[in-house]
Amino acid sequence: MLNNNEDVLNIIFKIFHTLEYEVDKENIVTILEKQDHKVQKFFRKLNFRIPEYKKTSLDEYGSYVFLQIDGKKTVKDIGENLEGKYGEKAYPLYERLLLFLNHIDVNCHYIEKTNV
């Protein structure tokens, strides 16, 4: 269990090894989730238009944060980079950052902690 804010700021995340994603020329990240459940495959065979991938595009801030996740940078490092790029627009900085990181970790399984 995390004891204090310093522990939280020292968490390091990495992108989950099986996650597929694209980055466009504006550095916007689109997550590609393969839709290969047996029911989806069955309906595709019946010529239903079910895409191979579910595509989820992150916004500018989310894409910037996502591209910072490299298995080396701590939450604090990412927050400092975010503040350096966006200034006051990123505030409340760590509250928003931690909420986003927790969401893409726990709910989406896009990233995982490497050092906890």
Pairwise CA distance, residues 86 & 45, whole Å: 47
Residues 78, 69 contacting (CB under 8 angstroms): yes
Options 3.90.930, 3.30.499, 3.40.1000, 1.10.4100; CATH of 5-113: 3.90.930
pLDDT tens digits for range 37-49: 899 889 889 999 8
- Does this model's pTM top 0.75? My answer is yes
User: How many angstroms separate the most distant Cα atoms in the chain?
Assistant: 54
> Is 83 a residue whose pLDDT tops 60?
yes
All structural domains of the chain with their residue ranges: 5-113
Pairwise CA distance, residues 8 & 11, whole Å: 6
Q: Residue 48 — left, alpha, or beta (φ > 0 → left; ψ -120 to 50 → alpha)? A: beta
Residues of the chain with pLDDT > 70, as a percent, come to: 96
